[in-house]
Amino acid sequence: MYELLKGTPGMVLSLTLNSALDHVLQIPPFELNATLRAHSAHLAMGGKPTDASYILGTLGLPTHALALAAGSFGQRAEAMLQQRGVTTDFVWTRGETRLNTILVQSDGRGQTTLTADSLIVSEEHLAELERRFLGALDRAGCVLLGGSLPSGVSPEWYARLITLAAEQGVPVVFDSSGEGLRRGLQAGPTVVKPNRHELGELAGGVLASLDEIAAAARQLHDLHNTSVVVTLGDQGAVAILPNAAYHIPSLEVPVVNAAGAGDGVLAGMSAALAAGLPLEEGLRLGFAIAAAVLQTPATADCSPEAVAGFLPKIELGPIL
């Protein structure tokens, strides 16, 4: 299926309101008041939609990345995307594109992301981004939207952009959190991808079991007429689609860096929808990409050969 997608004209249009780079440091166990010497350091793509475009470019799949960006980090992000064959169209703002710091403990106990807002966005910047978005929609097979919002940018922008895409009949894959997720859901995206914590916030409680997660996802699907894919780390994922429900078990792979794995799922689903394929095919490709991303130290990096190898191993089991 991956090779089939490489021959399709379906283009994924990604839009990132809060662009970012990731500085990934593999460190010994963290301790305060000490100098920690990283075992390795990598400058990588950041921001959910641009991560997904970076992945799609790596796989040779057509994608066009719109973003708000600024400064030298924004220029570096644009160049990195272009090096992977991604068409870019950035609206340049004041301030600086974010530089996230991701600390990955080399003993496998986990990782932490440090981030801070640094873009300065005006209404004129947002109006120009909307103009370019509308101009690109007629070439898009799918829109990929989400991530965090720069300071001062209303969550209503997600609902607005989803509505504009829907008015032109373009499917939307959406992934955000907090109020941005709530407002975007009200516009009825085609697919939404919360994690367990984000779904629990929407449902108003902690979701402990797969049954509870599936029930909350079904409620979200019925309320917003939206397919819901809930990522669960080493428990895989739950997907509630209009005519089917699945549990997707995780593959046992060595985890080098978990950042960007969920964005691999976004990339796979978006590519399938852009090509007019069933969302099930996008889930298979997306979770194969996620497994490949987990094995690389840099965020959203993966090997096309690893993706192709994992693809036949992804299972979609029914949820009763």
pLDDT digits (tens, 9 = 90+) for 240-250: 999 999 999 99
213-218: average pLDDT = 94
With contact defined as beta carbons under 8 Å apart, do 126 and 140 qualify? no
The CATH number of the domain where 32 resides is what? 3.40.1190.20
Cβ neighbours of 53 (radius 10 Å):
35
Catalytic residue among 22, 175, 263, 301: 263
With contact defined as beta carbons under 8 Å apart, do 147 and 49 qualify? yes
What is the extent of the structural domain holding 244? 2-318
- Dihedral in degrees, nearest 10, Cα atoms 113, 82, 89, 68: 20
CA–CA dist 196, 184 (Å, integer): 18
Q: Is the pLDDT of residue 3 over 70?
A: no
Q: Is the pLDDT of residue 262 over 90?
A: yes
Task: Report the predicted TM-score, pTM, of the whole model to 2 decimal places.
Answer: 0.95
Query: Which phi and psi (to 5°) does residue 2 adopt?
Result: -60, -45
What are the strands, taking DSSP E only, across 28-177? Answer: 40-46, 63-69, 87-92, 94-95, 98-105, 111-114, 119-120, 142-146, 172-175
224 contacts: CB under 8 Å, gap ≥ 6:
185, 186, 188, 189, 192
Question: What is the model's pLDDT at position 2?
Answer: 65
Q: 46 to each of 38, 57, 77, how far by Cα in Å?
A: 20, 14, 8
With contact defined as beta carbons under 8 Å apart, do 279 and 241 qualify? yes
Q: What is the pLDDT of residues 20-51, one digit of tens each?
A: 999 999 999 888 898 989 889 999 999 999 99
Q: Is the pLDDT of residue 4 over 80?
A: no
> How many folded domains does the chain comprise?
1
Q: Is the pLDDT of residue 1 over 70?
A: no
Is 263 catalytic? The answer is yes
